[in-house]
């Protein structure tokens, strides 16, 4: 377990991927366990939490000067979960997450030049 945690601490990309997996696959299960309905899941998880996380990814990628491709990790994992379980509206949400991440990424552009 300690080796896994050390790998996560060293690789920020792994950090993004693990949080993405938790948000996309584990959080909906928790919403069901607490008997929160479909509407609550869509509003709170898909629109509030995931949008905030997409913005965080854009900021995090810029702050730590990670590869631009890190912005794609969360939307791709979300598309996989939508393909498996959710409705077609999820495909549009993944596009929104990607666009928001890119916008935040460029918003915090370095001003050294």
- Output the average pLDDT for the chain: 87
Q: Is residue 112 part of a domain?
A: no
More confident of the two residues 31 and 90 = 31
Instruction: Give residue 106's pLDDT.
Output: 94
> Domain span at residue 81?
12-107
> Judging by beta carbons within 10 Å of its beta carbon (0-12, 13-18, 19+), is residue 16 exposed, middle or buried?
buried
- The stretch 39-68 carries a mean pLDDT of 92
Cα–Cα distances (Å) from 79 to 21, 54, 56, 61, in that order, read: 12, 14, 19, 20
**Is 90 within the bounds of a domain?**
yes
**Structural domains counted in the chain:** 1
Q: Are 54 and 100 in contact (CB under 8 A)?
A: yes
Domain assignment present for residue 113? The answer is no
Q: What is the mean pLDDT of residues 63-85?
A: 92
31 pLDDT band, cuts 50/70/90, is confident
Task: In whole angstroms, give the CA distance from residue 94 to residue 101.
Answer: 11
The pLDDT confidence band at residue 42, using thresholds 50, 70 and 90, is: confident
């Amino acid at each position: 377990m300690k080796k896994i945690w050390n790998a996560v601490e060293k690789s920020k990309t792994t950090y993004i991927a693990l949080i993405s997996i938790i948000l996309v696959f584990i959080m909906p299960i928790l919403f069901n366990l607490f008997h929160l309905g479909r509407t609550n899941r869509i509003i709170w998880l898909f629109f509030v939490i995931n949008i905030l996380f997409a913005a965080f990814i854009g900021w995090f990628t810029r702050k730590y000067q990670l590869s631009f491709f890190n912005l794609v990790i969360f939307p791709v994992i979300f598309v996989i979960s939508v393909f498996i379980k959710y409705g077609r509206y999820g495909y549009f949400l993944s596009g929104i997450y990607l666009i928001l991440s890119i916008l935040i990424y460029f918003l915090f552009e370095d001003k050294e030049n």
